[in-house]
Structure 1
């Protein structure tokens, strides 16, 4: 039987908390984030940016940064909005979402900037 690694996240220890699946991976580089944006665009999904304070990361409600970028085809335009959100909310978690309007769901959702704890 294989061993499963335990990630000791605890509500009592804010520094141990993880936010979404990508939090268990090493921080993405700018090139990797660009690749994710390009993938979202290539699938025809609508990119959106959301943010929240680290202590509220487990809430279902995150603040939407502007409206989703319906029909956006420029990775540079999406990354400009991601960076504008980070600059305006430097202590918050910021995530990138790719809304799949055909499946009526999120096709992608990842943390692109981890806020200060």
Structure 2
């Protein structure tokens, strides 16, 4: 089972030409694009590390795809995603987000159930990857 995150998450991994087509769509809508990476894929971890600065004023996706490939070379065992931002509402809003790389092995998540007062049950999830220190999670 693979991590389901962002648009297209239930499709097979996108090829570079499909990634370029999605980036072109974002650029045609006037959305700046950024690239982010992480080794902690927890669903509530919304603060991924940013690869460089957001890419503004591009007409073609070639520059974005080149940056994606550089990020892939630097972090071959991390999750990498592309985000497109829409500022039409006067604030930064994510219009499109999708994964462009995932580790070859995804260890999954641990679901923990805790019983509380009045037989209330609460659940929490933890990525098995986070049992190792940062930088060694997908080695």
What is the aligned counterpart of 1:56 among 29, 41, 45?
Answer: 41
What is the aligned counterpart of 2:18 among 32, 37, 50?
Answer: 32
Deviation at 1:73, TM superposition (A): 1.9
Q: Which shows bigger deviation, 69-78 or 20-29?
A: 20-29
Deviation at 1:19, TM superposition (A): 2.6
Structure 2: distance between partners of 1:61 and 1:98: 15
The answer to whether the 8 A contact 2:5-2:98 is kept is: no
3-state SS, counterpart of residue 25 of structure 1: coil
Which consecutive unaligned segments of at least 5 residues does structure 2 have? 107-139
The answer to whether the 8 A contact 2:37-2:81 is kept is: yes
Under a length normalisation based on structure 2, what TM-score does the superposition of the two structures give?
A: 0.67
Name the structure where strand makes up a greater proportion of residues: 2
3-state SS, counterpart of residue 55 of structure 2: coil
The answer to whether the 8 A contact 1:47-1:72 is kept is: no
Which consecutive unaligned segments of at least 5 residues does structure 1 have? 1-14
Structure 1: distance between partners of 2:22 and 2:5: 18
Kindly tell me: are residues 112 and 57 of structure 1, through their superposed partners in 2, closer, same or farther at Cα, counting changes over 3 Å?
Answer: farther
Name the structure where helix makes up a greater proportion of residues: 1
Under a length normalisation based on structure 1, what TM-score does the superposition of the two structures give?
A: 0.78
**What is residue 113 of structure 1 aligned with on the other side?**
101
3-state SS, counterpart of residue 80 of structure 1: helix
- Select the structure of larger CA radius of gyration: 2
3-state SS, counterpart of residue 48 of structure 1: strand
